[in-house]
Amino acid sequence: MLRTPICDILGIEKPIFQGGMAWIADASLASAVSEAGGLGIIAAMNANADWVRDQIHQLREKTDKPFGVNVMLMSPFADEVADLVAEEHVPVVVTGAGNPAKYMKAWIAADIKVVPVVASVGLAKLMQRAGATAVVAEGTESGGHIGELTTMALVPQVVDAVDIPVMAAGGIADGRGMAAAIMLGAQGVQVGTRFLVADECTVSDEYKDRVLKAKDISTIATGRRYGHPVRCLKTPFSNEYAKRELEGASEDELNKLGTGALRKAAKEGDYEHGSFLCGQIAGMVTKRQPAAEIVDDIVGGAEKCLKEATKWVK
C-alpha cells in the first residue's frame, strides 16, 4: 500500500485530498472520500457559519473518518467560519485565496491541523513559520482560483524550501500524476476536477457532462487583468468574460458579470450563464464513478507506476 508520513499525521489511510471546491465540495462528496481512506473536504466558500455547521453534522452522520473544511479567506463570513471550525473540533482546516495567519494561533490551540494552499515559495515559508502542519502546492493547471507557476515548477521548489509535508495539486487525475508528484518530493496529492464526476458529487448533470466532454484545450483562465485569475471551461459565459476583460472593462463590471456564475453552473446547470470551474486535466476524465473507485484508481495507479519505474534504470 502507498503510504506517506502525511497519512499518520492526519490519521488517513491514503495520501490523497479531495479539493475544497465551492458549490461542489459538500458533505455528500467529502464523506465519501473520507470513508474511502482519503481526506474529504467541505468547502465553506462564501457560506455563513450555520450552513457550514450543518454540512459538518451531515458528514459526521455518514463517516467517523478524518475530514477537513476549506476556509475561503476572501469570504465575508471568514471570521465566523474560522471560529466555527474550532468550536466543532474539525480535524483539518485547508485554506485558500489568501493568508490565514490571523487565525492560525486559535486553530492550532484547538488542535486543528492547518494545511494552507499556496501558489509560491514565499507563502509556503510564511505558513511554515506560522505553524502550518503541511501545505498544498497548487499549480496553475488547477481549476478555480490559480497562481502563475505550473505544478512541475512549483512543487519541487516548495519541497526544497520547507520542512513540513507538501501535497501537490494541479493537473493530477490519475496514478501517473500522483507518482510524478511523489517523485517531485510531495507526500501526496489534492485532486479536484476528477471528483466533479463522482457519483456522490451533487453538481448538476450538465456540469458533469461538460467535464466528460472536455478536451486538453477546453479551459480558459480569466481575471488576470485585476490579479484574481480563475480557470474554467470555455463556455458562452467565460468567452464573454474574457472578451470584456480584453476590452478593458472595469473590475466592478467584471465582478457584476461573474456574480452567481458558479452557482448557476453547479446547481442549475446553466451552460449559457454559468462558470464551470475545471482544471486542464479535464480531458483525462472520461467516466462517472463512485468516489471510492476514484481514490483507489489514483492511489493504486501511483503505486503501480512507482513499482514499475525501476525498469528504466539499468
Q: What is the pLDDT of residues 217-253, one digit of tens each?
A: 999 999 998 888 999 999 999 999 999 999 999 999 9
pLDDT of residue 99: 86
Number of domains in the chain: 2
pLDDT of residue 1: 84
pLDDT of residue 313: 82
* Residue 138 shares a structural domain with residue 177: yes
- Which three three-digit cell numbers place residue 25? 465540495
* Residue 273 shares a structural domain with residue 296: no
pLDDT of residue 310: 85
**Contact in structure between 67 and 40 (CB atoms under 8 Å):** yes
* Residue 45 shares a structural domain with residue 121: yes
Backbone φ and ψ for 120, nearest 5 degrees, come out as -155, 160
Q: Average pLDDT, stretch 284-291?
A: 97
Residues of the chain by 3-state class (helix, strand, coil), percent to 5? 45, 15, 35
Lowest-pLDDT range of 18-22, 209-213, 224-228, 249-253: 224-228
Q: Average pLDDT, stretch 24-53?
A: 96
pLDDT of residue 49: 95
* Residue 228 shares a structural domain with residue 294: no
**Contact in structure between 57 and 20 (CB atoms under 8 Å):** no
Angle at 38 between CA 49 and CA 48, to 5 degrees: 10
In a domain, 314, yes or no: no
* Residue 267 shares a structural domain with residue 297: no
The H-assigned helical ranges of 185-290 are 205-213, 236-246, 251-258, 261-266
- For residue 312, pLDDT beyond 90: no
pLDDT band at 139 (very low <50, low <70, confident <90, very high): very high
In a domain, 212, yes or no: no
* Residue 259 shares a structural domain with residue 292: no
- The domain of 147 spans 5-202+287-309
In a domain, 213, yes or no: no
Q: pTM score, two decimals?
A: 0.94
